[in-house]
Chains A and B, each alone.
Chain A
Amino acid sequence: MAIPVNPVDISPRQVANKSDKKALLAAIRMTLGVQSPAVRRNTQTFNRNRYVATGMLADYNELKDRARQIKENAIANLPQLLEKLEASVNANGGHFYLAKTAAEANAYIRDVLLRHQAKLVVKGKSITSEETKLNHTLEAAGIKVAETDLAEFILQVADEQPSHIIAPALHYSRERITALFKRKFDTELPLDTGEELTKFAREKLREQFIAADAGISGANLIAADSGSIMLVESEGNIRMTTILPPVHIAIAGIEKVIPSRTDFGVFLELLPASGTGQPLTSYVSIIHPPLKAPTFAAPGKEPAREREFHMVLIDNGRSRMREDPVLREALYCIRCSACMNVCANFETVGGHAFGGETYSGGIGGSWEAGTGQLSNARFSELCTACSRCVPNCPVRIDIPWLNENLRQRMNQEQGSSPVKFLFGEMTGSAPGDSVAPLQKQFFGNYNTLGKWGTKFSSLANASLHLPGARSVMQGVFGVDRRRELPAFPGKTWEQLYRVENPAKQSAIKPGVVMLADVFTNYGAPERGMAAIRVLRAIGLDVALSSAMPDGRAAMSQGMMETARREARALAPMLRRYLDEGRKIVVLEPSVLAMLRFDFKHLLDGDDTQVLLAQNSFEPLEYLWMVAQEQGLDLAKVFPATKCSQGTRLFYHSHCQQRTCNSATQTIEVLRAAGFDVVTSSVECCGMAGSFGYKREYYDLSMAVGEDLFAQVRRADEEGGARTLVASGISCHEQLFAGMGRAVFHPAELLASLLE
């Protein structure tokens, strides 16, 4: 595929299919160059509104549990539900058609329309019909299709694929829409406000609604017991589409079917709150067509005798997804878009880069792979597993887990080579993972890298400064040369600990054990020591475990076998400390998230996972718990006024730390100590472990970081520069890269205040 370099020369359609990685990289350039400001503004608005709207649902968590349960049951009983639904639709007087493929669905709809000699159909928003490319089939049969959702209307005019599942044209700014319409329509109107553009489109489409021979809608949910469908919208075009024309066709995937109309209530409240962040959208239609109301006939037209309704459900790979333990999860998706709006990468590039031909965002890879080919999910590489989508998904899908598994499958699809195999052997990949590209094995086996680097630290650090070293790093492992590589320390955390604790600590007295996570052990041992001193300062007995990898680095590269092996070795080691009565404290939030959440996938069925999840803590989270319990005056223990860095801080918590609900405690501790703390509100810094080091993603990573840097600069405006504080090791690198000044771990600041 020849893809032009200049962003403005790339059209979204050209790079919709990203099975070739070049298309993904071109799409990133295109979106960063053209679409990013509109995507940012719109997704971040949805994101803020969602937090407010879900916060107003008193039983948000219970609703999510209920929604998850309904969807799990529905997918488990799908064949029976489809039979029941067919009977319901027939009993209502409608027609039911189950299409195995997209082509079958399109042909059925075309034939219905041809039978009615339809010349014009109006369409409400239907992403499923984008998946089947229905418009092509209909237009080829001489039927005009009018997209009536204003976003779909824009896309039809521009000939682009959707970039977002509920707001398919959110990559368009008002200015770009004006330019587009001026180019495509012969009009003297100024069209330079949202009102004028809306009026222009409304008047065009009103004529189409009135003249339409048939209407095609999607369906947000379908109830098997009554043949009822739920349609969520704000513009009124779906109501027009379903009420005015005599023929109504609803097209949807089979996964939209749930057992009962009584279940609608759960989703009705979750879906708009999770999507646009509204308590309800302007219109939610609950209908079991055909409608009994009289039909509408355009002035001068003969009214149809009665209404006709067709429900067209498509399989198109969904039954295969149902049999696949990973992709099955995607069938629970209710397409609210929360996972996109909360995703820092998506907020920066949108679905034309972080998406395929139809589906986008974190969940989109599974859908593209499930309804098409695995390689179509290549864009899911943009999921950094920051995990912010996980607590915001109304049906509790662990989206990063799906993407890591897709990554593994794509690694496997590439096949092995002697070089990859040898490199895997050297760096410690599990046998099945040595098919992964060198870059992935390089980052996935961070443990080995760290071991070598610290053992020969002066050599390693010096060699990185040798002429040509960075070209080799970039050429062979894809490490971007613009990134400062952290120097390897002369001593690991384990070694420093032994120096400070020549006599073995009492292993009997209950207290805490700090996990010597590999990132801290080889990357920032002094931060680890600071955390130990801080915890000891409030009277805790603190031991340090031996350094062992936890699976995070491997998992992020799709090296699942390696990750499993590491998790299975680490769990029993930590279990012994738990059995001694110690709690586990983990400095690096991405590792804490492994113990809290990811180990449930890696240690299937092992009860150690539950124990680890319940008994592991972020250091300041634990400190805050103890301080609360014992009524400690933290201002006495850690008098902020003594801080050589001053008391004015800017604190950025780590994405996974927030998902663990372990972030606010740090702010509490710092404030209790007397610091003046301003916090960031970005979902992720954009570094996300190895992601920002990769040559192909450096620009995107820095663009994501720009939101964070801007927040720092705003905070600095009043009263001068604040001291930067962050809890994650990659957040440190990113903040340092963006702001060019020192970044501290909260524990380092607190430790500096001890006598």
Chain B
Amino acid sequence: MIMQPVMEQLSLVEQFVDSAQKAVATVEVIDRTPAALCDAILRVAKDAQRILYSPPQELPSALFGEFAKDPRVLANATADELIHSAAGVTEAFAGVVRTGSVCVDISYQRTGMVSLLAPLQIAVVAAETIVPQPRDLFRADVLDGKGLTRDFVFVTGPSATADMGPLVRGVHGPHKLHIIVLR
């Protein structure tokens, strides 16, 4: 009886990972601890000399505490730093199973820029906020209706274009998307 919801949640996460990979994102599922998160982010951004960071408004900021201590992390980047950093880290307040998308709120701080300007985008999403379909974000009874009031963007894989002939990933937006799912 108690296991049932956990099982369902697990399978939702598994499906999410699968669709996000199909959308050419990289995904990992980790434990919800400051150490695990710090380790995961720094592993994927290991070559970055500067890492843009927009502190979360949903997840506890303590979770990002260990990561934020790294000297490469910039929580209050200047304009110059915004356009010359290799990675940008934000939370995502929702994930979407069918499309492998993450939803990033861009209405607070510099989240919009942090999630857009650096070549590597890292999004941290809590497993329980992953919903089945994109349309669920427009329901009042899903995630407390957050999708109905916020300014946000569905991010599905890295930026891409076919305008120059063949499909090219990495255009004006990030060239890579890495999603970290918190168990």
Compute how far the CA of A170 lies from the CA of B112 in the bound complex, rounded to whole angstroms: 30
Binds A, one of B2-10, B59-67, B78-86: B78-86
In chain A between 187 and 219, which residues have their CB closer than 8 angstroms to a CB of chain B?
A: 193-195, 197-198, 201-202, 205-206, 209-210
Compute how far the CA of A202 lies from the CA of B174 in the bound complex, rounded to whole angstroms: 12
Binds B, one of A104-112, A282-290, A434-442, A626-634: A282-290
Our pick among B83, B96, B163, B173 for the contact of A151 (Cβ within 8 Å) is: B163
Docked-complex contact B138 and A210, CB < 8 angstroms: no
Docked-complex contact B153 and A177, CB < 8 angstroms: no
Docked-complex contact A42 and B106, CB < 8 angstroms: no
Q: Do A291 and B164 contact each other (CB < 8 Å), given the known contacts A198-B170, A235-B171, A282-B159?
A: no
Compute how far the CA of A235 lies from the CA of B173 in the bound complex, rounded to whole angstroms: 6
B151 an interface residue at 8 Å Cβ cutoff?
A: yes
Interface string of B133-161 (1 = CB under 8 A from A): 11111111000000110111111111111
Nearest CB to that of A176 among chain B residues?
A: B165
Q: Do A280 and B173 contact each other (CB < 8 Å), given the known contacts A236-B116, A269-B133?
A: no
A260: min CB distance to chain B, Å:
9
Compute how far the CA of A173 lies from the CA of B154 in the bound complex, rounded to whole angstroms: 30
B60: min CB distance to chain A, Å:
22
- Residues in A with CB closer than 8 Å to B163 are 149-151, 154, 167, 169-170, 235
Our pick among B98, B111, B165 for the contact of A177 (Cβ within 8 Å) is: B165
A360 an interface residue at 8 Å Cβ cutoff?
A: no
A735: min CB distance to chain B, Å:
33
A266 an interface residue at 8 Å Cβ cutoff?
A: yes
Q: Do A206 and B172 contact each other (CB < 8 Å), given the known contacts A151-B163, A234-B160, A243-B113?
A: yes
Nearest CB to that of A197 among chain B residues?
A: B164
Docked-complex contact B151 and A287, CB < 8 angstroms: yes
- Residues in A with CB closer than 8 Å to B155 are 282-283
Docked-complex contact A236 and B172, CB < 8 angstroms: yes
A581 an interface residue at 8 Å Cβ cutoff?
A: no
Interface string of B106-147 (1 = CB under 8 A from A): 111111110010000000000000000111111110000001
Docked-complex contact B159 and A299, CB < 8 angstroms: no
Q: Do A294 and B133 contact each other (CB < 8 Å), given the known contacts A236-B116, A282-B173?
A: no
Q: Do A194 and B168 contact each other (CB < 8 Å), given the known contacts A269-B133, A280-B99?
A: yes
Compute how far the CA of A285 lies from the CA of B152 in the bound complex, rounded to whole angstroms: 6
- Residues in B with CB closer than 8 Å to A150 are 161, 163-164, 171
Q: Do A237 and B171 contact each other (CB < 8 Å), given the known contacts A194-B165, A282-B160, A283-B153?
A: yes
B47: min CB distance to chain A, Å:
19
Docked-complex contact B107 and A299, CB < 8 angstroms: no
Docked-complex contact A296 and B79, CB < 8 angstroms: yes
- Tell which of B23, B139, B173 has the most Cβ of chain A within 10 Å: B173
B1 an interface residue at 8 Å Cβ cutoff?
A: no
Nearest CB to that of B133 among chain A residues?
A: A269
- Residues in A with CB closer than 8 Å to B150 are 286
Nearest CB to that of A283 among chain B residues?
A: B153
Docked-complex contact B161 and A235, CB < 8 angstroms: yes
B156: min CB distance to chain A, Å:
4
- Residues in A with CB closer than 8 Å to B110 are 293-294, 296
Docked-complex contact A261 and B99, CB < 8 angstroms: no
Compute how far the CA of A463 lies from the CA of B80 in the bound complex, rounded to whole angstroms: 82
Our pick among B80, B135, B171 for the contact of A266 (Cβ within 8 Å) is: B135
- Tell which of B101, B109, B153 has the most Cβ of chain A within 10 Å: B153
Nearest CB to that of B84 among chain A residues?
A: A299
In chain B between 20 and 74, which residues have their CB closer than 8 angstroms to a CB of chain A?
A: 23
B109: min CB distance to chain A, Å:
6
Q: Do A240 and B172 contact each other (CB < 8 Å), given the known contacts A210-B83, A282-B159?
A: yes
- Residues in A with CB closer than 8 Å to B153 are 239, 283-286
A265 an interface residue at 8 Å Cβ cutoff?
A: yes
- Residues in B with CB closer than 8 Å to A210 are 83
- Tell which of B135, B137, B167, B170 has the most Cβ of chain A within 10 Å: B135
Docked-complex contact B159 and A173, CB < 8 angstroms: no
Docked-complex contact A236 and B165, CB < 8 angstroms: no
Nearest CB to that of B177 among chain A residues?
A: A282
Docked-complex contact B167 and A194, CB < 8 angstroms: yes
Docked-complex contact A265 and B172, CB < 8 angstroms: no
Compute how far the CA of A434 lies from the CA of B152 in the bound complex, rounded to whole angstroms: 58
A298 an interface residue at 8 Å Cβ cutoff?
A: yes
- Residues in B with CB closer than 8 Å to A209 are 172
- Residues in A with CB closer than 8 Å to B164 are 150, 174, 177, 194, 197-198, 201
Docked-complex contact A292 and B156, CB < 8 angstroms: no
- Residues in B with CB closer than 8 Å to A281 are 156
- Residues in B with CB closer than 8 Å to A299 are 78-80, 83
- Residues in A with CB closer than 8 Å to B173 are 235-236, 239-240, 282-283
Docked-complex contact A264 and B159, CB < 8 angstroms: no
Docked-complex contact B111 and A293, CB < 8 angstroms: yes
Compute how far the CA of A205 lies from the CA of B116 in the bound complex, rounded to whole angstroms: 15
B132: min CB distance to chain A, Å:
11
- Residues in B with CB closer than 8 Å to A264 are 138
Docked-complex contact B148 and A261, CB < 8 angstroms: yes
Our pick among B79, B96, B112, B134 for the contact of A293 (Cβ within 8 Å) is: B112
A297 an interface residue at 8 Å Cβ cutoff?
A: yes
Compute how far the CA of A110 lies from the CA of B122 in the bound complex, rounded to whole angstroms: 38
Docked-complex contact B154 and A280, CB < 8 angstroms: yes
A262: min CB distance to chain B, Å:
5
B3: min CB distance to chain A, Å:
27
Nearest CB to that of A267 among chain B residues?
A: B135
- Residues in A with CB closer than 8 Å to B111 are 293
- Residues in B with CB closer than 8 Å to A206 are 83, 172
- Residues in A with CB closer than 8 Å to B82 are 296
Q: 6 nearest interchain CB pairs? A: A236-B173, A174-B165, A265-B135, A265-B138, A236-B172, A150-B163
Which positions in A face B, CB cutoff 8 Å?
Answer: 42, 56, 148-151, 154, 167, 169-170, 172-175, 177, 193-195, 197-198, 201-202, 205-206, 209-210, 234-237, 239-240, 243-244, 261-266, 268-269, 278-289, 291-294, 296-299, 301
Write 10 A-B pairs (CB below 8 A) sorted by A numbering.
A167-B163, A174-B164, A235-B161, A262-B139, A269-B134, A269-B135, A283-B159, A284-B154, A291-B112, A299-B80
Identify 18 new A-B residue pairs, CB closer than 8 A, beyond the known A206-B83, A243-B113: A149-B163, A205-B172, A235-B159, A235-B173, A240-B172, A243-B112, A261-B148, A262-B140, A263-B138, A268-B135, A279-B156, A282-B155, A282-B159, A284-B154, A284-B156, A285-B151, A287-B106, A293-B112
